[in-house]
């Protein structure tokens, strides 16, 4: 390990103390944590509602697609709007809109008047609003806390998001089950749905409360207002400018293309091959899958916490750290398909999740510092678009591959591909030279 990895714990502890003494961060993280928890309630309640209404998996798939497609299509536009009007203004507006939309869904469910077409319409609106809230949420933090606190702040927020993913579904399930036996509403197919209404109501309330806490946050002068240049451009011109600027930045371009390739070969096996493997090779089926995903999630939470507490831990450079961790992922994938017990999978996935969580915080922070503030909303939307666009392609490719490969064969093939991508990244790109520092705008 290098000097940065052996740095004393005292400065990191002092930095963490200063971070939580920052009133802006406390308001932002308090409301954000509640909103992230509320999101998990809707993620559980919405599929359950659709199945209550129809009992049709195809309808469920359509609802999820209706949420995801406008988010993926309009997220680049959302980034341009964030840069024009400031992340705080856009995020505040999206919180109020989401609170109103999900609150309307809660009232419809509670009254028993909800119908499938209403769920489709509200899902479309929610997906469209999140296309603006995602880049706004990614761009606001660098304008809220000092630069030296950015990585610990990202670690705290991402760690809270991961924690909400772990505990939110459990809380939502308990709420829905506890109030599911309330008096039935008028429609027979909507019996025992009061718990669903409460779950949606909790999420709606979380948006309104987090909007209030956001109003207490004071951004830097440049963060409160959009740029004059962005306001003078059309939205499409603003998006093109951001993409051209990112492309000219060789290190940023290389890292985006690299993560697109890595994400393709990691996302497919995790989304598709892991459930198939759990069903065919592990004794407890769905329970085993839950333990595997839970182990990976807990590992990611720990990795994010470490990234926040030890922001200077590196293998010489940030780029070399990323390459080394992805090489470990490739080595883990090689034997993963041979597991025959749940504990073996958890033993492999938990440390892999920790390494991935650590990298996620570090790279996210690097990008926030690298990109000029006036372009941050658009840049983060491009980065998120890469993963949102690739996720369904990776899943489809993995599903097709499993027609000719076993899960073990797919994991091994993906592991070999990851190792090859790392080797190419190390030898042919400037990724290994990427360091933690603010760079001048390209």
Q: Residue 186 has what pLDDT?
A: 44
Q: What is the DSSP string of 320-384?
A: HHHHHHHHHHHHHHHHHTT--SHHHHHHHHHHHHHHHHHHHHHHHHHHHHHS-GGGHHHHHHHHH
Residue 442 in 3-state DSSP?
coil
Q: Is the pLDDT of residue 210 over 50?
A: yes
> Where residue 191 falls among pLDDT bands split at 50, 70, 90?
low
Q: Residue 439 has what pLDDT?
A: 40
> Where residue 16 falls among pLDDT bands split at 50, 70, 90?
confident
> Where residue 221 falls among pLDDT bands split at 50, 70, 90?
low
Q: Residue 311 has what pLDDT?
A: 79
Output phi, psi for 86, to 5 deg: 90, 140
Q: Residue 321 has what pLDDT?
A: 94
Of 95-99, 126-130, 268-272, where does mean pLDDT reach its minimum?
268-272
Q: Is the pLDDT of residue 10 over 80?
A: no
Q: Is the pLDDT of residue 44 over 90?
A: no
Question: What digits encode the pLDDT tens for the residues 275-290?
Answer: 788 878 888 776 777 7
Question: What digits encode the pLDDT tens for the residues 86-100?
Answer: 899 999 999 999 999
Q: Please answer whether residues 337 and 277 qualify as being in contact, where contact means their C-beta atoms are separated by less than 8 angstroms.
A: yes
Q: Residue 258 has what pLDDT?
A: 94
> Where residue 128 falls among pLDDT bands split at 50, 70, 90?
very high
Q: Is the pLDDT of residue 85 over 70?
A: yes
What is d(CA 242, CA 227) in angstroms, rounded to the nearest whole number? Answer: 14
Residue 180 in 3-state DSSP?
coil
Q: Residue 348 has what pLDDT?
A: 92
Q: Residue 286 has what pLDDT?
A: 62
What is d(CA 74, CA 376) in angstroms, rounded to the nearest whole number? Answer: 16
Q: Is the pLDDT of residue 411 over 70?
A: yes
Q: What residue spans in the chain does CATH classification 1.20.1250.20 cover? A: 1-232, 235-442
Tell me the mean pLDDT in the region 153-177. Answer: 82
Output phi, psi for 315, to 5 deg: -95, 80
Question: What digits encode the pLDDT tens for the residues 332-375?
Answer: 999 998 998 889 998 999 999 899 889 988 888 898 888 887 88
Q: Is the pLDDT of residue 401 over 80?
A: yes
* Domain 235-442: assigned CATH number: 1.20.1250.20
Q: Is the pLDDT of residue 9 over 70?
A: no
Of 20-24, 283-287, 314-318, where does mean pLDDT reach its minimum?
283-287
Q: Please answer whether residues 347 and 52 qualify as being in contact, where contact means their C-beta atoms are separated by less than 8 angstroms.
A: no
224 vs 307: which has the higher pLDDT: 307
Count of Cβ atoms closer than 10 Å to residue 375 Cβ: 24
Q: Residue 11 has what pLDDT?
A: 64
Q: Residue 92 has what pLDDT?
A: 96
Q: Residue 169 has what pLDDT?
A: 76
Question: What digits encode the pLDDT tens for the residues 225-258?
Answer: 555 555 556 777 888 888 888 899 999 999 999 9
* Domain 1-232: assigned CATH number: 1.20.1250.20
Q: What is the DSSP string of 66-102?
A: HHHHHHHHHHHHHHHHHHHH-HHHHHHHHHHHHHHHH
Q: Is the pLDDT of residue 25 over 50?
A: yes
Of 25-39, 110-124, 236-250, where does mean pLDDT reach its minimum?
236-250
Q: Residue 229 has what pLDDT?
A: 53
């Amino acid at each position: 390990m290098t000097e940065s990895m052996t740095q004393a714990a005292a400065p990191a502890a002092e930095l963490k103390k200063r971070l939580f003494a920052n009133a802006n961060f406390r308001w932002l993280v308090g409301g954000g944590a509640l909103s992230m928890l509320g999101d998990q309630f809707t993620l559980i309640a919405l599929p359950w509602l659709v199945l209550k209404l129809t009992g049709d998996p195809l309808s469920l798939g359509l609802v999820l697609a209706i949420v995801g497609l406008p988010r993926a299509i309009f997220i680049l536009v959302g980034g341009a709007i964030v840069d024009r009007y400031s992340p705080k203004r856009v995020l505040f507006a999206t919180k109020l809109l989401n609170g109103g939309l999900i609150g309307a869904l809660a009232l419809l469910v509670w009254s028993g008047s909800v119908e499938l077409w209403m769920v489709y319409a509200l899902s479309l609106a929610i997906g469209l609003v999140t296309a603006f809230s995602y880049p706004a949420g990614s761009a606001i933090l660098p304008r809220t806390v000092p630069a030296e606190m950015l990585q610990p702040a990202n670690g705290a927020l991402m760690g809270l998001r991961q924690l909400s993913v772990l505990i939110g579904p459990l809380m939502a399930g308990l709420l829905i089950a506890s109030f599911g036996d309330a008096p039935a509403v008028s429609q027979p197919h909507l019996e025992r749905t009061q718990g669903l209404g409460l779950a949606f109501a909790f999420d709606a309330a979380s948006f309104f409360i987090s909007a209030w806490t956001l109003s207490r946050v004071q951004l830097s002068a440049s963060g409160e207002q959009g740029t004059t240049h962005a306001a003078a451009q059309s939205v499409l011109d603003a998006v093109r400018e951001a993409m051209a600027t990112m492309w000219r930045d060789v290190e940023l371009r290389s890292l985006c293309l690299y993560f697109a390739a890595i994400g393709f070969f990691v996302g497919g096996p995790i989304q598709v091959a892991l459930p198939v493997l759990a069903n065919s090779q592990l004794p407890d089926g769905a329970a085993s899958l839950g333990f595997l995903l839970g182990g990976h999630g807990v590992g990611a939470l720990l990795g994010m916490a470490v990234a926040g507490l030890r922001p200077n831990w590196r293998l010489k450079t940030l780029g070399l750290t990323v390459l080394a961790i992805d090489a470990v992922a490739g080595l883990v994938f090689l034997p993963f398909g041979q597991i025959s017990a749940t504990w073996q999978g958890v033993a492999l996935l938990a440390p892999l999740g920790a390494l991935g969580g650590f990298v996620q915080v570090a790279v996210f922070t690097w990008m926030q510092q690298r990109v000029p503030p006036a372009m941050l909303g658009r840049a983060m939307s491009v980065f998120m678009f890469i993963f949102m666009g690739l996720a369904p392609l990776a899943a489809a490719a993995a599903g097709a591959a499993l027609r000719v490969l076993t899960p073990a064969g797919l994991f091994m093939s993906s592991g070999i591909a990851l190792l090859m991508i790392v080797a190419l990244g190390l030898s042919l790109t400037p990724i290994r030279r990427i360091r933690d520092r603010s760079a001048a705008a390209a």
